[in-house]
Structure 1
Amino acid sequence: MSRAPRSAVANRDWGREEDGCSILHVDMDAFFASVELARRPQLRGLPVVVGGAARGVVLAATYEARAFGVHAAMPMSAALRQCPQAIVVPPDHHAYHEVSTGVMRLLGDVTALVEQVSVDEAFLDVAGARRRLGPPTVIAALIRRRVHEHYGITCSVGIGSTKFVAKLASGHAKPDGVLLIPRRATVDFLRSLPVGALWGVGERTEAALARWGIRTVAELADSDVTTVQQAVGRVAGAHLFDLSWGRDPRPVFPHRAEKSVSAEETFVVDVADLAVVQQKARDLADRCATRLRLKGLVTRTVSVKIRTSDFRTLTRSRTLQTPTDVGRELYLAARELIAGVDLGGLPVRLVGVRVDGLSAASDTIRHPTLEEAVGEPARGRREVEQAMDRVRGRFGGASIHAGTTQVGGVPSRSTTTFVPADLS
Structure 2
Amino acid sequence: MAQDQLPAPNTARKILHIDLDAFYAAVEQRDFPELRGRPVVVGGAPNSRGVVATCSYEARAFGIRSAMPASQAYRLCPEAVFVQPRFEVYRAISLEMRAIFLEFTELVEPVSLDEAYLDVSARSLSFDSALGIAREIKRRIRETTGLTASAGVSYNKFLAKIASDRNKPDGLCLILPEQGRNLVADLPIRAFHGIGRATEAKLRALGIERGRDLQRWPLARLIRQFGKAGEHYHRIAHGIDERPVLPNRSRKSWGAETTFPTDLSDKAEMIASLARLAEEVLRRLARQGLEARGLTIKVKYDNFQQVTRTRTLDHPFRDLREVLPHLAELLDRTAAGTRKVRLLGVSFSSLERPSPAGQLDLFTLD
TM-score (normalizing by structure 2): 0.79
Going from structure 1 to structure 2, the CA distance change for 1:234 and 1:265 (only over 3 Å counts) comes to closer
The 3-state SS of whatever aligns with 2:103 is: helix
Q: Which residues of 2 match residues 314-393 of structure 1 at below 5 A?
A: 315=309, 317=311, 329-330=319-320, 337=326, 341-342=331-332, 343-344=336-337, 348-360=341-353, 364-367=355-358, 369=360
**Contact 2:223/2:231, CA 8 A, preserved across alignment:** no
User: What is the CA–CA distance in structure 1 between the aligned matches of 2:358 and 2:136, rounded to whole Å?
Assistant: 47
1:26 match: 18
Q: Distance in 2 between matches of 1:318 and 1:240?
A: 30
Give 1:52's aligned residue: 44
Which of 89, 97, 107 is equivalent to 1:113?
Answer: 107
Kept in 1, the 8 Å contact 2:265–2:337? The answer is no
SS of residue in 1 equivalent to 2:239 = coil
Q: Give the unaligned 5+ runs of structure 2.
A: 1-10
Q: Could you tell me how far 1:185 is from its partner in structure 2?
A: 2.0
1:125/1:252 contact within 8 Å kept: yes
Q: Confirm or deny that 1:162 pairs with 2:156.
A: yes
Q: Is the 8 A contact 1:296 1:360 kept in 2?
A: yes
Preserved CA contact (<8 Å) 1:115 1:256: yes
Shift of 1:66: 0.7
Task: Report the alpha carbon displacement of residue 106 of structure 1 after superposing the two structures with TM.
Answer: 2.6
Asked if 2 retains the 8 angstrom alpha-carbon contact of 1:156 and 1:176, the reply is yes
* Number of residue pairs matched by the alignment: 347
1:71 to 65, 68, 81: 65
Identical residues among aligned pairs (%): 37
CA distance in 1, matches of 2:273, 2:350: 23
CA RMSD of aligned residues (A): 3.6
CA distance in 1, matches of 2:327, 2:247: 38
Equivalences for 1:231-310 in 2 at 5 Å? 232-233=225-226, 235-271=228-264, 281=274, 284-285=277-278, 287-289=280-282, 291-292=284-285, 295-309=288-302
Does 2:142 align with 1:148?
yes
After superposition, the C-alpha distances for 1:44-82 in whole angstroms (9 at most, x for unaligned) are: 221111222421221111111111001011112211111
1:217 aligns with 2:214: no
Amino acid at match of 1:29: D
Contact 1:220–1:228 (Cα < 8 Å) also in 2: no
Deviations 1:146-192 (A, max 9, x none): 22333333221100011111111011132121101122222232222
Letter in 2 for 1:357: S
Residues 160-199 of structure 1 correspond to what in structure 2 (within 5 A)?
Answer: 160-199=154-193
Which of residues 112, 118, 121 in structure 2 aligns to 1:124?
A: 118
* Residues 25 and 157, structure 1, Cα contact 8 Å, conserved in 2: yes
- Label 1:310 to 1:207 Cα distance change in 2 as closer, same or farther (>3 A): closer
Residues 38 and 280 of structure 1: CA distance in aligned 2, closer, same or farther (over 3 Å):
farther
Q: Alignment partner for residue 42 of structure 1, among 10, 34, 41?
A: 34
Could you say what secondary structure the match of 1:243 adopts?
Answer: helix
Unaligned segments of structure 1, at least 5 residues: 1-18, 373-377, 383-411, 414-424
